[in-house]
Amino acid sequence: MVMAADPPVIVWFRRDLRLADNPALARAAAAGRPLICLYILDETAGVRREGAASRWWLDKSLTSLARDLETIGGHLVLRRGVSAAVLAALIAETGADSVFWNRLYDGGSVERDAAIKAALGATGVECRSFNAALLNEPWEVIGKSAGPYRVFSAYWRAARAVSSSAAPDAAPKRLVAAPRPRSETLASWNLHPRRPDWSQGFAGWTPGESGARQRLDAFLNDAANAYSSRRNRPDVEGTSRLSPHLHFGEIGPRQVWAAIHDAAAIGRVSEREGDTFLRELGWREFNHHLLFHRPDLAKNNLDARFDTFAWRRDDGGFEAWTRGRTGFAMVDAGMRQLWRTGWMHNRARMVAASFLVKDLMIDWRRGEAWFWDTLVDADIANNAANWQWVAGSGADAAPFFRVFNPTLQAEKFDPDGSYARDWIPELSGSSAGAYPPPIVDHALARERALTAYRSLTT
Ligand code: FAD
C-alpha cells in the first residue's frame, strides 16, 4: 500500500541504462515507494567526460531508457551539473529520503560517490549502492598474497570459482512514479553531433536495452558457435559486438553469463565455445579489477620502468595513424572502421595500437585518448588496460619483444584482403585518391623499438 506522504526514492542511473537485472531499480521498486528515475550529465571535477562517439551513443541510449521507463509507469528526469549539487537540489525539491545507484569502479566516480554518500548520509538521506556491472566486485577476488591479481589466468581461475550463479532480476512490472520534477531536454544537451554530423556510419547500431538483447540473440543464433575460430577475423562477423551495450550497462555480464549457460544447457551453443566467449568477459572483469586497485591506470604506466621511456613526438605519424593513412592495410582499415562506425575489431585494435606504440614509438596515452574520443565502447578500464597491455607497461602485458608485423597480421587474419578493401576504397579502385606508401620500414622500426625497450630492462 503506497501512502501519499511516502517520501520518494531517487534511482540514479549512470552506466546501468536498463530495467532488467538492475538491482538499484529492483530494490527501490520493491519498496513500493514513489520513484524518481534520474540521469545526471555529470560535471564533477575529476570524472572523465565521455568522448564524442560515446556521447552519440548516450543520446540514443537515454532516449531508449526514457521510453522503456514510460511503459512501466516511470519517467526519466534529466539534469546537468555537478552530481552532488544536482542530488542535493532534487532532494530539497521533492523531499526524497533515499538515493539508490549501481556502482562504478573508475577512480573519479568512486571518489565522487563516496563523498556523496558521506554528505547525504550526514543529512539523514539513505544512500545504497549495488553491483550491476560486474560478475564479481573487484575486492571479492583476491589472490593468496591478499593483494590484487596481476596475471589474468590466475585471476580468471579464482573469479570463475566465486562467480555467483544467481539468476538476474527481471525488470519491474510497474513503478510508482513520484510527482514529476523539472527535467531538462535531451536535445538541449547536444550529444548528437551537428555541423558536421559525422555519425551516418553509426546507423548499424541500436543503442538501448532491447538493441542489446537483440545483439546477444543474434550472436547466440550464429557467430557464437564458431567463436573460437572466427573471433580473430576482422573480415567476418565473428564476435558479439556487445561492447558498447556492456559499457553503458544496457545489458549486464550476469545476463550474458546466464544466456550462455542456458544456451549451452540446451545445446544451442557448445560448452567449449561458450567458455571461450566467457573468458573474454573475464578480461573485462580483470581490467575493472586492475582499474579499481590502480585508479591511475589511464594516466600512469603500471610498470614504472616505462616512466623513462623515450617516446617520440612525431605529430605527422600520429596524424597518419588517426586518418588511416599509414600505408599498412590492417592498421588503416581498422582506423577507418573506427572513424566511420565507432567500433574496431579486436585484432585490428591490437595491430593498430602496436603500430602506434612500437613502429612509431608514440606514447600509448595519445592512442588511448584518440580511442577514448572515437570508440562507442570507450571504457576507462578496458581501453587503458589494453593499451598498457600492448605497450608492455601493463599487468600481464605482451612481452616487449612482441612487435606485431602488420603485413603478416593482414595475411593471416584478412587472407583475401576483403576487410582492407571494405574500409580503404583506394584499394578497390572505387576512390580516385591514391593509397599512400608505408610511412615506415617495419623491419627498421621494429629494431628501433627493440633497442629502446631493451634499454629499459638492462
Ligand atoms: P567479443 O569478442 O564478442 O567479446 C565479448 C565481450 O568481452 C566484449 O563486448 C567486451 O566487453 C569483452 N572483451 C572482449 N575482449 C576484451 C578485451 N581484450 N579486454 C576487455 N574486454 C574484452 N573494449 C572495450 O569494451 N572498450 C574499450 O575502450 C576498449 N579499448 C581497447 C583498446 C585496445 C588497444 C585494444 C587492443 C582492445 C580494446 N578493447 C576495448 C577490447 C576489445 O577490443 C573489445 O572489447 C572488443 O573488440 C569488442 O567487440 P565485441 O563486443 O564484438 O567482442
Give the pLDDT confidence score for residue 5 in this predicted structure: 65
Q: What are phi and psi of 228, to 5 degrees?
A: -65, -30
Asked whether the predicted pLDDT for residue 306 surpasses 90, the reply is yes
291-307 mean pLDDT: 95
Give the pLDDT confidence score for residue 34 in this predicted structure: 96
Q: What percent of the chain has pLDDT over 90?
A: 89
Provide the pairing of β-strand 98-102 with 9-13. parallel
CA 237, CA 225: separation in Å to the nearest integer? 12
Decide: 241 in ligand 1 pocket, CB within 6 A. Answer: yes
The answer to which of 114-128, 185-199, 327-341, 426-440 has the lowest mean pLDDT is: 426-440
Compute, in angstroms, the gap from residue 374 CA to the centroid of ligand 1: 14
Please say whether the beta carbons of 390 and 364 come within 8 A: yes
Cell of 435: 593509397
Please say whether the beta carbons of 61 and 207 come within 8 A: yes
Catalytic residues: 280, 283, 311, 346, 364, 387
Q: What are phi and psi of 124, to 5 degrees?
A: 85, 10
Contacts 24+ apart (CB under 8 A), 305-308: 305/456, 305/457, 306/391, 306/392, 306/393, 306/456, 308/456
Decide: 361 in ligand 1 pocket, CB within 6 A. Answer: no
Name the closest-CA residue to atom 37, ligand 1. Answer: 386
Tell me if the bond preceding 295 is cis, omega within 30° of 0.
no
Q: How confident is the model at residue 435 (pLDDT cuts 50, 70, 90)?
A: very high
For residue 261, give every residue at least 6 positions away whose Cβ sits within 8 Å of its Cβ, in sequence order, or none: 165, 274
- What end-to-end distance do the CA atoms of the chain give, in Å? 72
Pick from 245, 262, 284: which is nearest to 15 by CA? 245
Decide: 391 in ligand 1 pocket, CB within 6 A. Answer: no
Quick: pLDDT tens for 332-385.
Answer: 999 999 999 999 999 999 999 999 999 999 999 999 999 999 999 999 999 999
Pick from 271, 177, 181, 290: which is nearest to 228 by CA? 271
37 strand-pairing partners: 11, 76
Compute, in angstroms, the gap from residue 244 CA to the centroid of ligand 1: 9
385-412 mean pLDDT: 91
Higher pLDDT, 2 or 101: 101
Taking each helix axis from N to C end, the angle separating 406-413 and 329-341, rounded to the nearest 10 degrees, works out to 70
Compute, in angstroms, the gap from residue 284 CA to the centroid of ligand 1: 7
Quick: pLDDT tens for 320-347.
Answer: 999 999 999 999 999 999 999 999 999 9
Please say whether the beta carbons of 102 and 75 come within 8 A: no
| pTM confidence score | 0.97
Give the pLDDT confidence score for residue 147 in this predicted structure: 80
Provide the pairing of β-strand 76-81 with 98-102. unpaired
Quick: pLDDT tens for 48-80.
Answer: 999 999 999 999 999 999 999 999 999 999 999
CA 409, CA 318: separation in Å to the nearest integer? 21
Nearest atom, ligand 1, residue 244 CA: 25
Q: How far is CA 48 from CA 43, 185, 286, 324, in A?
A: 9, 22, 21, 26
